[in-house]
Amino acid sequence: MADDFTLADVRRAVRGIAKYVLSQKPRGARVIIGRDPRFLGETLVSVAETILCEHDITPLVIAEPAPTPAISYEVLSGKTDGAINFTASHNPPEYNGLKFSTPDGAPALPEVTKKIEAEIAASSPQPLEHSASAKSQPIEVKLRYLKRLAELVDLKTIKSAGLRVVFDPLWGAGRGYSDALLREAGVEVATIHDERDVLFGGHAPEPDDHLLGALRRGMKARAADIGIATDGDADRFGVLDEDGMYIAPNHVIALLFDYLVETRGWKNGVGKSVATTNLVNALAEHHGVELHETPVGFKYIGELIKQDKICIGGEESAGLSIRHHVPEKDGIIAGLLCCEMRARRKQTLKEQLRGLFAKVGSFYPLRENFRLTDEVKAKFTQKLRQEPRDFAGRKVSSVVRTDGLKLILEDGSWVCYRISGTEPVVRIYSEARSQEHLAKLSAAAKEWVLQ
């Protein structure tokens, strides 16, 4: 903020979005404006509201911070022409961002963002001079979204199991959502970090292992069975088992896939990004379910949900959604489904994961960022065009180029490289069938960058 995210640039971006919306619907367009609890959020909403009115687009303004999935659901249920959401999601408090959702409730696809970029480049920085007739309308998104969650999650099973839950919204937009729904259903739930803090406790509002210490302490103090967390805009999840063990998002996605097939009988397909655990692949084969492997980016998973091709789709970066729900990441439903799964199966999540490993084999994933000099980055970008025959002492059985370079080895382990488009970093994803092999594979993966 105040560097490459300025009010001037926000105005330019919103004008570009307004022009795009009018190109799709010249009259009577309605667009939702929402935000997370970050600094200046109210100001940004007001700026967007003014610009939409100038373009005769009715702004539907959410007064309070709202989760990204709740905004997505309102786009669908309210049949609006999209949504502008001011949030930097799980990023540190000094950042902000703008998400645009299309009328299908999904993140804008590349063909849409390119059109918006073209409108931004062509638009005048000055306000329009004609008198606009559009006036903003306040809307409330919480009740309708929570009602939908209550239809998708078996709250009665959670209550009857006597489950004790601790919820950590990390000061974000998820405050008053997961816990409110559970509490209304009669579930014993405690909430921490349940106040607005634009600095998110002085760190990124990211529900990752190293930032969930307070949730662990809250669980221990209350002898809780499960801890669930959401990030700044509640589109990502974090889950702790009863002993405080962090359940990796890769494993949460696999567990919920197996659970939904078992309890809902959904076998229409499963979606995952190329960088997400192959435990999902093994389960898809075990259940006889079609696997869809996409580039990184939830917009591609969202397309599969819209087409009802998958029962669940997820990314290792803690994003998932399910059939008959929003084509957008939803950290709230992820945590609630984990509570349901824990309650119905009457096993800890760790025990359930051991059961999956016994059924289809063990999978241990890892993601690391490796910083590069500009010179090494340029050299390595060229290297990614190669197709090595062996890697880390094992033969390469197949090469996948869905997104970056993924090398699948003869024993089922794999490594995937993706170059960041915004910083001198290569993201290295690796997965092995044992933790010992994972350590060796990770070392070899980083060494290969510099060879």
pLDDT at 422: 64
Same domain for 344 and 207, yes or no, is yes
CA 198 to chain centre: 21
pLDDT at 424: 78
Residue 107 lies in a domain: yes
pLDDT per residue of the chain (451 residues) written in tens, 0 to 9: 999 899 999 999 999 999 999 999 999 999 999 999 999 999 999 999 999 999 999 999 999 999 999 999 999 999 999 999 999 999 999 999 999 999 999 999 999 999 999 999 997 776 666 556 789 999 999 999 999 999 999 999 999 999 999 999 999 999 999 999 999 999 999 999 999 999 999 999 999 999 999 999 999 999 999 999 999 999 999 999 999 999 999 999 999 999 999 999 999 999 999 999 999 999 999 999 999 999 999 999 999 999 999 999 999 999 999 999 999 999 999 999 999 999 999 999 999 999 999 999 999 999 999 888 888 888 888 889 988 899 988 999 999 999 999 999 999 999 999 987 667 789 999 999 999 999 999 999 999 988 7
Same domain for 235 and 340, yes or no, is yes
Same domain for 160 and 222, yes or no, is yes
For residues 77 and 359, give the distance between their C-alpha atoms in angstroms, rounded to a whole number: 40
Same domain for 134 and 35, yes or no, is yes
- What separation in angstroms does the CA of 103 have from each of 216, 233, 424? 39, 20, 35
**pTM (2 decimals)?**
0.95
pLDDT at 370: 87
Residue 321 lies in a domain: yes
Q: Which residue among 97, 122, 140 closes a domain?
A: 140
Residue 212, domain extent: 144-360
pLDDT at 365: 97
Instruction: Determine contact, residues 54/127, Cβ cutoff 8 Å.
Output: yes
Same domain for 190 and 135, yes or no, is no
**Strand 390-391 with 394-400, pairing:** antiparallel
For residues 330 and 67, give the distance between their C-alpha atoms in angstroms, rounded to a whole number: 9
- Whichever domain contains 257, its CATH number is 3.40.120.10
Q: How many domains does the chain have?
A: 3
Residue 203 lies in a domain: yes
Place of tokens 């998002």: 249
Same domain for 227 and 193, yes or no, is yes
* Segments in 265-396 forming alpha helices (H): 279-287, 298-306, 331-345, 349-360, 374-383
Instruction: Determine contact, residues 13/47, Cβ cutoff 8 Å.
Output: no
Beta-carbon contacts of 155 under 8 Å, excluding residues fewer than 6 positions away, are 181, 182, 185, 187, 340
Same domain for 328 and 402, yes or no, is no
Q: Which residue among 140, 155, 186 closes a domain?
A: 140
Same domain for 369 and 343, yes or no, is no
Give SS3 for 432: strand
Same domain for 318 and 441, yes or no, is no
What single DSSP character describes residue 400? E
Residue 1 lies in a domain: no
Same domain for 218 and 272, yes or no, is yes
Same domain for 298 and 186, yes or no, is yes
Residue 155 lies in a domain: yes
Q: Which residue among 330, 360, 390 closes a domain?
A: 360
Sign of CA dihedral 144, 145, 151, 154: negative
Same domain for 356 and 370, yes or no, is no
